[in-house]
Amino acid sequence: MTRPHKNGTNNSKRLTTQQAVNTAIWSICDIMRRSNCAGAMQYVPELTWILFLRILDEREAKEAEQYEAVGAEFTPSLEAPYRWQDWAAPDGAKRQELQNGEARAFFGFVNGQLLPYLKGLRDKPGATPRQKVISEIMSGVERTRIDTERNLLDVLDKVHEISAESVDPTHIFTLSQIYEGLLLKMGEKGNDGGQFFTPREIIRVMVKVVDPTIGKTVYDPGCGTGGFLAQSYEYMRARLGEAASPEELEALKWRTFYGREKENLIYPIALANLVLHGIDQPNLWHGNTLTGGEIYGGLFQNAPGLFDVILTNPPFGGKEGKDAQTRFDFKTGATQVLFLQHVLNSLNPGGRCGIVMDEGVLFRTNETAFVQTKRKLLDECDLWCIVSLSAGVFSTAGAGVKTNLLFFTKGKPTERIWYYDLSDLKVGKKTPLALSHFDEFFRLLLECSNSERSWTVDFAERKRKAAEQADPFKRRAKAKEKEAQQEKERLAALRKTSPLNEEAAAKSEATIVALTQEFREFAQRAQAIEDAVYDLKAVNPHAPKDEDARTPEELLDLIEAKGREVAEALAILRNGAASSLVQSQ
């Protein structure tokens, strides 16, 4: 058994200001940008596995000391010479050997020995959960992207300097927050990572509203880089405070957070992000949530069938094929609608959910699956809050789609929906959404009070009125259906007579067609009235009306004046053209 040595800060400089940490991080990114990793989508995944191995080594060194203090034996996840302290630390024995050896020996070791060893850990007999996490974080790394050994060694040295112990937590951000900054770069417009990144202000608001508590499971079926799970951990850990028991901490770090992610590039980043936040066992499933196609499920084996809390921002605008649609009750190609069905099917009775939904899902009533899914939501859950966001909230990720935040509890039908309107905010890269924009929202939320931005819709009364309005059309449709059936019976009897009265039969057939058409029209009108109830779009009744108060006479005078201006401009142009023609002759 090999015990890690105290490698934490031998060669590390103390970083005592946020500027010092930022400088260290971006100096690493600068090396990577000149080393075949031009954009954030290239250098963030590369830095992810390097930074993760550094923190892992440091964490296990600390754990080894704790075990030793109580006389227990500690078994590290990695053997020599594959630990950071062996091959990456400036004074590491393996690094010294490789640097003093043949040219490109370092690349040969990293690409030919280290990476295969790390990726193969999950397949070892008796592999620990941590070893499986290590393998999955390395799953997408075929070889280092950095182009020269010199640049790679420079990166390793700089990463070694920003260890957890060298960062002063009393003055500057923790390493997890530094990593969040890197993920933000991936989410910026032009970096193609926006689809995996939800603005952190939105995540913090949603977590605070849903309020996950200790002992509850938290699930994100499309977790991207793991933002909702990481923020939920921080929220729950802060609520525990210093009085947390060892049992509570173990449950929080090992048996609380679950997620799914499809993309090969993003899945390892999510794992690393959760580990850096302090989650020892990120229970993430790698595969397609909607089709059930699994790439790796080894970390999800003990996941429950249903979850207490779901926080998610599902992809919107995608189109799913039959392989996904067949798994759901209401068939549609709309990705976000299938995700909403998955959420409804995955939530425990009494469970709470916060979900980002695009505007189209809220207002569309012209597609059956949209209406059926919303009917299921409102029949089985209490949709108690909808926050209407401006189209600019996701603009840094290249998405100008208008979105909403939906909050609901499973177990009883919706009676009243409280709306809060932030759609008028001018949000962009230079004026991003801030937590302060939600100050009034949180003040009013407890009582669901009304204001210039908030109002309540009595959904139960709205349904009752719609049923009342639809009832006459339903009764008329039923009457026409009955008449059509009677006419069909009359036609059947007529066809049994000999000789057949063809004129009477043709007249009867035409009557059936007309009655059937009338039945359908009445039924469709009734259905349209009932479906309109499920247009959930936020329409603020307190918003100022932008009406044109001018009289018809004033508008006609304006049109006449504008007409004169146009005529005068045309006359000037014609005169100018005529003068030019004369001069040219």
Give residue 426's pLDDT.
86
Give residue 284's pLDDT.
97
What does DSSP assign to residue 15?
Answer: B
The arithmetic mean of pLDDT across residues 455-482, rounded, is 96
Q: What is the Cα–Cα distance from 325 to 331, expressed in whole angstroms?
A: 5
Q: Which residue has the tokens 């991003």?
A: 432
pTM exceeds cut of 0.85: no
CA 246 to chain centre: 32
Backbone angles phi, psi at 497, to 5 degrees: -80, 150
Token representation of residue 275: 């580990």
Query: Exposed e or buried b for every residue in 259-268, given b needs 16+ CB within 10 A?
Result: bbbbbebbbb
For residue range 145-172, list pLDDT tens digits in order.
999 999 999 999 998 887 666 555 444 3
Share of the chain above pLDDT 70, in %: 87
Q: Which residue has the tokens 């059930």?
A: 292
Lowest pLDDT segment from 25-39, 290-304, 510-524: 25-39
User: At 269, which helix (H) or strand (E)?
Assistant: helix 266-277
Q: What is the Cα–Cα distance from 567 to 559, expressed in whole angstroms?
A: 12
Amino acid, single-letter form, for residue 253: K
Token representation of residue 5: 């040595």
Q: Please, which pLDDT band fits residue 433 given cuts at 50, 70 and 90?
A: confident
CA angle (63 as vertex; 284, 49 as ends), nearest 5? 45
Question: Quick one: which of 404, 398, 395, 401 has its CA closest to 428?
Answer: 395
Question: Quick one: which of 195, 321, 208, 359 has its CA closest to 262?
Answer: 195
For residue range 319-366, list pLDDT tens digits in order.
899 999 999 999 999 999 999 999 999 999 999 999 999 999 999 999
Integer angstrom CA distances of residue 403 from 191, 362, 386, 393, 545: 21, 9, 10, 8, 22
The arithmetic mean of pLDDT across residues 297-312, rounded, is 96
The arithmetic mean of pLDDT across residues 488-496, rounded, is 92
> Could you check whether the bond before residue 304 is cis, i.e. omega within 30 degrees of 0?
no
DSSP helix/strand/coil, 4: coil
Token representation of residue 563: 């007409």
DSSP helix/strand/coil, 160: helix
For residue range 536-583, list pLDDT tens digits in order.
999 999 987 766 777 888 878 888 888 888 888 888 888 876 666 666
For residue range 245-281, list pLDDT tens digits in order.
889 999 999 999 999 999 888 899 889 889 888 898 9
Q: What is the Cα–Cα distance from 390 to 370, expressed in whole angstroms?
A: 22
Give residue 30's pLDDT.
87
Looking at the DSSP bridge assignments, the partners of residue 358 are 403
